Amino acid sequence: MSQTNHQPIRVLFVCLGNICRSPLAEGVFRKLVDEAGLSAHFEIDSAGTGPWHVGESADRRMQRTARRHGVDLSGHVARQLGREDLARYDHIYVMDRENLEDVLRLDRDGRFRHKVELFRTFDPEPGDGEVPDPYYGGERGFEEVYQIVERTARRLLEHLVSLYKLKETADLSR
């Protein structure tokens, strides 16, 4: 695949409520893209499969964890995934199998199934393939999720740089 300068690669991260895992993945991925000098090539967003937190900020515990690692989630506003997102985004990365089922349920005719996959597909230490939900856990759970998301986002960026032949522009050495 090659990418033109006119059309960004659209990446969407999805979890249940869009206040913990998916905003973190969006923020970490955006930071890595910025550091690689590839911001002009990407459009990055996140959403939740459920409506419970629409309009809310990212969870304070997740914001605190992210901030400790230089990732700012303060501007995040939770939103719910819509059917139109399936058509709009080139890649949709979900945090767990329940999210995967919910996203695929929106794709009634199966046209967008090829765009949707588990985020941890790219994790060098994939465990059970899911990013655990830290919402009901303590601080340690948020840090664990950060570590999972950071290493997975790094590999995901390497994959997309290769897929879209962006190597000549990218600085992935950071």
Which DSSP letter does residue 8 get?
A: P
Q: Are 31 and 71 in contact (CB under 8 A)?
A: yes
Given the residues 20, 21, 30, 154, the one annotated as active site: 21
Provide the residue count of the chain. 174
| Active-site residue, from 45, 85, 123, 133 | 133
SS3 63: helix
Say if CB 132 and CB 152 are below 8 A apart.
Answer: no
How many angstroms separate the CA atoms of 37 and 74, rounded?
A: 22
**Residue 62 · residue 133 · CB < 8 Å:** no
DSSP string computed for 104-116: HHH-TTSSSGGGE
Q: Which amino acid is at 95?
A: M
Q: Using an 8 Å Cβ cutoff, are 129 and 100 in contact? A: no
Is 133 a residue of the active site? yes
What is the token pair recorded at 128? 């059970």
Q: Which residues are catalytic?
A: 15, 21, 133
